[in-house]
Amino acid sequence: MADPRGFLKVRERELPPNRPVEVRLRDWKDTHAHREEGQPFLKEQAGRCMDCGIPFCHQGCPLGNLIPEWNDLVWRDQWADAIERLHATNNFPEFTGRVCPAPCETSCVLGINQPAVTIKNVEVSIIDEAFERGLVTPQVPQRLTGSTVAVVGSGPAGLAAAQQLTRAGHTVVVYERDDAIGGLLRYGIPDFKLEKLHIDRRLEQMEAEGTRFRPGVAIGRDITWDALRRRFDAVVLATGATVPRELAMPGRDLGGVHFAMDFLTPANKAAAGNPVDGAPSAAGKHVVIIGGGDTGSDCLGTSLRQGAASVTTLAIGKKPPLERSASQPWPTDPIVFEVSTSHEEGGERSYLASTVEFVGGEDGNVRALKVAETEYLPDGRRVPKEGTEREIPADLVLIAMGFTGPETDELVAQTGAELTTRGLVRRGDDYATSLPGVYATGDAGRGQSLIVWAIAEGRATAAAVDAYLQGSSELPAPVGPRTVALRG
């Protein structure tokens, strides 16, 4: 245990400051201040960990991160051991340490009567320090098995599976239809949450270990499914769940109404120095975002940086409570009101707002959004309350209502893999699809989720593929395809 009296001496959380809003809105860089400015409180925070007999944070984290162990090592300044323990369960702590919603913290035992340990910040500090100290080196396999694996899709699930399988000695090729590797880490999540240098330096390590990357290759189009299947002993489908949920309302086909990703992807490409002609822009516009989740929040931060005149985010449901409710007791991960860094930067948030119509101007573009107050019916359905309609001026509307599942019209259709009733790729308990030697991992099988789940699934899928190729496997499998979060 780090400091037996640590949690008694330091009772508050302390985190590094964010950059001032007026400064960070002028660029696309990380909203958090750089580490060079120092974190004298980090050791104190790690020292608040009580090394509980039953560390519930292990359960809260889908990866089973060994949180008390690395808190202790950080407190003792033993950075090489700390990164070794962190990498033992997490291939990419630089991603989770930045953008994970940290369900571990909501199940921290200290959280019962004190603010939780700042686990996520300790995590990102360990990996950043490790990169700075040259402690992240390639783990080249000692022997090659001679087996080949294709991973289709290069998001966190595909990358985690690829790294595990490469290190187990298999020859792994990652195919990505986009022009750069990373999946939603690259072109979904904006730089102000995750700068792309973090992806690039991890890819360097993976390439040095032997993983091969083929960006700009769409399986099913550039290489047919049959050709791919013939070439590899096993295939991992890690193609994500990218089909957006539609909002079929009058006026949906007006100019200026877009799905969130049709706005975020080109904005991310522009931030990387590759602007896309004709991409929607928020500059000078009244922006309305429909949907209050992560994607909506990323649209907000992006709109503000592009110079929107105003931004309103609409959520159909009630405003969540500020504190956990009695029905969501510790150690569950409760649904509570959250303020992201983008929410700190501006915009208005409106709850119980049901969209009724996109209202058009004479030029064929949207000019307003008609919304009504949401009414809850006795059977739980949510409907617009009659007589409460109002118009919100809007010349850019972004639909950020989540994703229904993986695209199934091209690659998945060619494979003939069975789907679930929700339209996800069906998997057995070992991530195997209905096709021999073909596995599905991450959002493609789970539905749109979180990076930490994608990495956990990628690791577990690698174990299953390794067992298929070798007869048995010693690779870890932190979660099963049907493991669910500790929700209230």
Residues that bind ligand SF4 (CB under 6 A): 60-61, 63, 65, 67, 96, 100, 102-104, 119-120, 123, 452
For the bound state, the minimum distance from the C-beta of residue 193 to ligand FAD, rounded and expressed in Å, comes to: 6
What does 116 bind: ligand FAD, ligand SF4, none (CB cut-off 5 to 8 Å by kind)?
A: none
What does 442 bind: ligand FAD, ligand SF4, none (CB cut-off 5 to 8 Å by kind)?
A: ligand FAD
What does 334 bind: ligand SF4, ligand FAD, none (CB cut-off 5 to 8 Å by kind)?
A: none
What does 152 bind: ligand SF4, ligand FAD, none (CB cut-off 5 to 8 Å by kind)?
A: ligand FAD
For the bound state, the minimum distance from the C-beta of residue 71 to ligand SF4, rounded and expressed in Å, comes to: 11
For the bound state, the minimum distance from the C-beta of residue 275 to ligand FAD, rounded and expressed in Å, comes to: 19
For the bound state, the minimum distance from the C-beta of residue 173 to ligand FAD, rounded and expressed in Å, comes to: 11
- Under 8 Å between Cβ of 354 and 297: no
- Under 8 Å between Cβ of 302 and 282: yes
| Spatial separation of the C-alpha atoms in residues 445 and 484, rounded to whole Å | 13
For the bound state, the minimum distance from the C-beta of residue 105 to ligand SF4, rounded and expressed in Å, comes to: 6
What does 119 bind: ligand FAD, ligand SF4, none (CB cut-off 5 to 8 Å by kind)?
A: ligand SF4
Nearer to ligand SF4, 103 or 458 (CB): 103
Q: Could you give the angle at the alpha carbon of 86 between the alpha carbons of 482 and 5, nearest 5°?
A: 110
For the bound state, the minimum distance from the C-beta of residue 293 to ligand SF4, rounded and expressed in Å, comes to: 17
For the bound state, the minimum distance from the C-beta of residue 104 to ligand SF4, rounded and expressed in Å, comes to: 3
Nearer to ligand SF4, 123 or 176 (CB): 123
Position 266, amino acid: P
Nearer to ligand SF4, 71 or 306 (CB): 71
What does 451 bind: ligand SF4, ligand FAD, none (CB cut-off 5 to 8 Å by kind)?
A: ligand FAD
What does 177 bind: ligand SF4, ligand FAD, none (CB cut-off 5 to 8 Å by kind)?
A: ligand FAD
Q: Which residues bind ligand FAD (CB under 6 A)?
A: 99-100, 152-158, 175-178, 183-184, 188-189, 193, 218-220, 238-240, 242, 264, 294-295, 298, 411, 442-444, 448-452, 454
Nearer to ligand FAD, 79 or 225 (CB): 225
What does 104 bind: ligand SF4, ligand FAD, none (CB cut-off 5 to 8 Å by kind)?
A: ligand SF4
What does 264 bind: ligand FAD, ligand SF4, none (CB cut-off 5 to 8 Å by kind)?
A: ligand FAD
- Alpha-carbon distances of 369 from 287, 308, 358, rounded to whole Å: 10, 17, 5
Which tokens belong to 271?
A: 């931030």
Position 162, amino acid: A
Strand partners, 49: none
For the bound state, the minimum distance from the C-beta of residue 438 to ligand FAD, rounded and expressed in Å, comes to: 13
Nearer to ligand SF4, 127 or 150 (CB): 127
Nearer to ligand SF4, 100 or 260 (CB): 100
Nearer to ligand SF4, 122 or 289 (CB): 122
For the bound state, the minimum distance from the C-beta of residue 378 to ligand SF4, rounded and expressed in Å, comes to: 37
HEC secondary structure over the chain: CCCCCHHHHCCCCCCCCECCHHHHCCCCCCCECCHHHCCCCHHHHHCCCCCCCCCHHHHHCCCCCCHHHHHHHHHCCCHHHHHHHHHCCCCCHHHHHHHCCCHHHHCCHHHHCCCCCCHHHHHHHHHHHHHHCCCCCCCCCCCCCCCEEEEECCCHHHHHHHHHHHHCCCEEEEEECCCCCCCHHHHCCCCCCCCCHHHHHHHHHHHHHCCEEEECCCECCCECHHHHHHHCCEEEECCCCCEECCCCCCCCCCECEEEHHHHHHHHHHHHCCCCCCCCCCCCCCEEEEECCCHHHHHHHHHHHHHCCCEEEEECCCCCCCCCCCCCCCCCCECCCCCCCHHHHHCCEEECCEEEEEEEECCCCEEEEEEEEEEEECCCCCEEECCCCCEEEECCEEEECCCEEECCCCCHHHHHCCCECCCCCECCCCCCECCCCCEEECCHHHHCCCCHHHHHHHHHHHHHHHHHHHHCCCCCCCCCCCCCCCCEC
For the bound state, the minimum distance from the C-beta of residue 468 to ligand FAD, rounded and expressed in Å, comes to: 20
For the bound state, the minimum distance from the C-beta of residue 35 to ligand SF4, rounded and expressed in Å, comes to: 17
Nearer to ligand SF4, 119 or 463 (CB): 119
Nearer to ligand FAD, 281 or 374 (CB): 281
Nearer to ligand SF4, 67 or 238 (CB): 67
Nearer to ligand FAD, 122 or 352 (CB): 122
